[in-house]
């Protein structure tokens, strides 16, 4: 049975699915409920940047929009944020503005349940609507709890095989890389590549292939078969560099699991589970992680229509999405990569775009840094000291 609660003057109705209150199977708040919802709550006047921070701290991929009385107005998911960023939303945009960007607009009704709904009914509700969170409301539509799928079942390992491109010469990082491969440079007391392997393990990705070329022995000596790091590590050594995609042609890809391809000089805290969800949601053949990069033009910019001045903008900030060096690739694409010659991911993407195939961009709002130059390496050390990167 489902019911739509009466309209409120200041918010969209929430869709409450569950038995009528007099037929509840009330288990009461238990481990499947979070009754302290404050870490998940945001208000309509908060910014996108603040919502991202709240979602990251809550670690459940959702924020709950409430009014001053604690009544639920809407939900904002990690996917909502990323879609809005790709549509041009800025970090200082408000939650209220963000809700107008959602496909159903601010009137979209979140799926909710009455507080006290049984665990079995909540699990059935989540399965029926393919959702991971159900806000729990009292009779006045005030938020009293949050049911989380993660409290019902342990999240399974991600069905991904990771491929880390670790064969670069690191010429722009010399003299640091004269005897050490770039991915093995220490970041906070352990190699950058070890941080990547550990993060993959935390995300439930344990099958890892490392493409090597320069100083491959140092990588193999450190990781071995990967068992010391909770992973199964295989190596694909290139006597001549094959580029960021060439190594994929040599992989055994009999299954249907997407490949997560990561440049070995990238340090990031991106949510790989969210990236896979995004990839599947869009039915992508290839998903490319992108990062917004902004730069200030040091002059006043003049917009003209022929000789006539239309607008003058003083030192405007110009933003672009740049390639973040992280990809999800459907395994069938590996067979389309030329054998035994250099071929980069950008070559593959250019060809797919020209063919009109489904290549999707995934905006990364988490920490991300390409450590390709000396000043990048110095910056990551500073970020460690500032707490932007975990020790």
Predicted confidence (pLDDT) per residue in 42-82, tens digit: 999 999 999 998 898 888 889 999 999 999 999 999 988 99
What is the mean predicted confidence (pLDDT) over 364-386? Answer: 91
Q: Are residues 179 and 323 in the same domain?
A: yes
- pLDDT at position 28 over 80: no
Clarify whether residues 194 and 53 are in a common domain.
Answer: no
Share of the chain above pLDDT 70, in %: 90
Q: Which of 30-34, 313-317, 387-391 has the lowest mean pLDDT?
A: 30-34
pLDDT at 91: 87
107 pLDDT higher than 90: no
CATH number, domain containing residue 179: 3.90.550.10
pLDDT exceeds 80 at position 178: yes
Domain assignment present for 390: no
- Mean pLDDT (whole number) for 159-167: 92
Residues 221 and 367 in one domain: yes
Comparison of pLDDT for 251 and 133, the residue scoring more: 133
Same-domain status, 165 and 148:
no
pLDDT at 322 over 90: yes
Confidence grade of residue 254 (pLDDT, cut at 50, 70, 90)? low
Examine the fold and report which residue of 152, 179, 210 is the final residue of a domain before the chain moves on. 152
Give the residue numbers spanning the domain of 86: 2-152
Q: What is the mean pLDDT of residues 322-347?
A: 92
The pLDDT confidence band at residue 346, using thresholds 50, 70 and 90, is very high
What band does 9 get if pLDDT is binned at 50, 70 and 90? Answer: very low
Question: For residue range 260-292, what is the model confidence (pLDDT) as tens digits?
Answer: 999 999 999 999 999 999 999 999 999 999 998
Q: Is residue 391, in this structure, part of any structural domain at all?
A: no
* Pair 166, 147 in one domain: no
Q: Indicate the number of domains in the chain.
A: 2
Domain identity same for 143 and 6: yes
Q: Which residues of 114-146 are buried (b: 16+ CB within 10 A; e: fewer)?
A: bbbbbbebbbebbeeeebbbbbbbeeebebbbb
- Mean per-residue pLDDT over the chain, rounded: 85
Whether 224 and 106 map to the same domain: the answer is no
């Amino acid at each position: 049975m489902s019911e739509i609660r009466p309209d409120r003057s200041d918010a969209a109705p929430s869709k409450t699915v569950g038995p009528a209150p007099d037929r509840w199977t009330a288990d009461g708040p238990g481990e499947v409920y979070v009754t302290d919802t404050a870490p998940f709550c945001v208000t309509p006047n908060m910014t996108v940047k603040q919502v991202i921070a709240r979602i990251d701290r809550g670690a459940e991929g959702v924020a709950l929009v409430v009014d001053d009385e604690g009544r639920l107005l809407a939900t904002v998911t990690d996917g909502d944020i990323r879609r809005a960023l790709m549509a041009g939303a800025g970090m200082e945009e408000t939650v209220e503005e963000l809700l107008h960007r959602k496909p159903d607009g601010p009137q979209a009704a979140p799926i909710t349940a009455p507080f006290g709904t049984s665990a079995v009914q909540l699990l059935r509700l989540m399965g029926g609507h393919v959702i991971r969170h159900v806000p729990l409301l009292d009779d006045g539509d005030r938020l009293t709890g949050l049911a989380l799928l993660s409290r019902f079942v342990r999240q399974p390992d991600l069905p991904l095989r990771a491929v880390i491109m670790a064969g670069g010469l690191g010429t722009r990082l010399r003299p640091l890389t004269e005897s050490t491969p770039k991915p093995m440079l220490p970041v906070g007391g352990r190699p950058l590549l070890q941080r990547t392997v550990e993060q993959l393990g935390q995300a439930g990705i344990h099958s890892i292939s490392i493409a090597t070329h320069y100083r491959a022995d140092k990588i193999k000596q450190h990781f071995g078969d990967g068992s010391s790091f909770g992973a199964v590590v295989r190596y694909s050594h290139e006597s001549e560099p094959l580029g960021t995609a060439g190594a994929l042609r040599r992989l055994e890809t009999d299954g249907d699991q997407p490949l997560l391809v990561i440049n070995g000089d990238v340090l990031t805290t991106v949510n790989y589970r969210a990236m896979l969800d995004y990839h599947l949601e869009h039915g992508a053949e290839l998903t490319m992680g992108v990062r917004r990069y902004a730069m200030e033009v040091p002059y006043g910019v003049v917009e003209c229509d022929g000789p006539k001045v239309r607008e003058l903008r003083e030192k405007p900030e110009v933003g672009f999405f740049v390639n973040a060096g992280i990809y999800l690739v459907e395994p069938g694409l590996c067979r389309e990569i030329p054998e035994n010659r250099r071929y980069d991911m950008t070559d593959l993407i250019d060809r797919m775009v020209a063919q009109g195939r489904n290549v999707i961009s995934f905006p990364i709002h988490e920490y991300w840094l390409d450590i390709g130059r000396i000043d990048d390496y110095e910056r990551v050390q500073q970020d460690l000291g500032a707490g932007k990167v975990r020790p």
